[in-house]
Structure 1
């Protein structure tokens, strides 16, 4: 009976893994500090830009239309996606903390993937918004209301949770054989699954299914909406009207390219390109898709959306006027 105790203890240790060790970018350890610089700058820009965008949408009465409320939802998902991954990635790159517990690892990958799926859902809703505005303008006010925006928000979160709950359960049911090293800057579903010694085929096939049925499906529906939009635009009589109508879709189309291109490449390379795509390229791309879109989305919408650009210019003018009043015409503060 005593001889069975070590085997029992070993089984418990295998089934409940200890903390994982995140390596960062394997092969580029000497460049970790340099890699962290653009990541940190982009993350800071993402926090500032999306917070400013949320503040504008929440406080400016001229930005209460469903289009801008959807933009606010996009900013929220961007903040969650970046914040769930980048702080730990920076800690790894700076050599401050490379360990992460099994529970924290599961929580991180769950929140990050839910945010990604929710953002994909919001981008699809924004494509539908553009389709209705251009192809059925007379019905826009009746079809897209604040209630519909609330339904989109609930549906985006619910969809993400429903899609990501099964792989988390599958990861918990796997047996781990003592391997603790994750060649990444944050936890990712298949990266954790590859540390297990059991059958990971359910994880592989489910991960592929979620990629095809979530972002890939959304991208296909977005493409279909833009085909209908282009068909409607081509029927407009004047070149100026066609250009103006397409201009309203420019920001959304730019954001779609920024969001889906690195994400889909990273997902597919992780599953099919292990022997053709260098590991450090995959990890760098995985870091790009969680920080580049959140950092650039507010810039794209701030430049390409006329109403938001006007509000930003107004804020900048107020800031400059306040600075002039503070410093005074003689170059010193009147209060002094």
Structure 2
């Protein structure tokens, strides 16, 4: 297998919030479960494209070529949750629970050039989680949500002009669903619903700086035929709703072998509608996830560039901290 060399470096940190296990109200628990999972198409997927030499017609891999990439990511979520009971009209229960969750994801991605300007891809994530809260302390190891995608570049890359790439992705609910696991015995490793997304990514090289930005839309299908106990009710169906995201940033080449990057990304997801067996419904709040990403790329060889990224959560719906590593695989 021949691996196309990486030229330049664009950093964007994977948005991989770990679940805080069920506690408090039904809607709060469902909101945690509906946070973005491994395999979601967000700004990371759209911005994570390698820049190539300007004398090439297209920046995607050539027709008939194969490129494999290994990605490692770590995320941490820590929070204090207030548990209060006012159902009787008076405060009968008040406590502060400290929750923490760690997630490690190892992903193998393979790209195949269908044409010089059309690339297909598949990603296989393996997810490991550790959660510590009053409901459950323990580990979970499982396959995450498999992703199938495509990238299309309609115009040839020309010197001094922006490069535009259209992207699409289908995420399959192959991981452990948050709507089917027992919160007191296990942790989810997937989203539990299929998701389709589409977006556009724009890169513009102003040597030695590469500017980039993206916009994407995602829609998730319903999770049906459920029978999960949430508080005093039984959850039977979840409608996650659509989301929109954008990102922008720049990468700067310090030398031939070292580059740095700074980017921000934000995703806004509509609140999910929850359906219960007793005929009642509920809706979670709209989620806004924002990240500040810092990265560095080190060219180990002409065919191998090691990319390291660190992210800081800017909103309550974001991971507190993320760390990522990405590098091409050679065979």
TM-score, with length taken from structure 1: 0.24
Higher relative contact order (CA 8 A, sep 6+): 1
The structure with more strand, counted as a fraction of residues: 2
The structure with more helix, counted as a fraction of residues: 1
**Which one has the largest radius of gyration?**
1
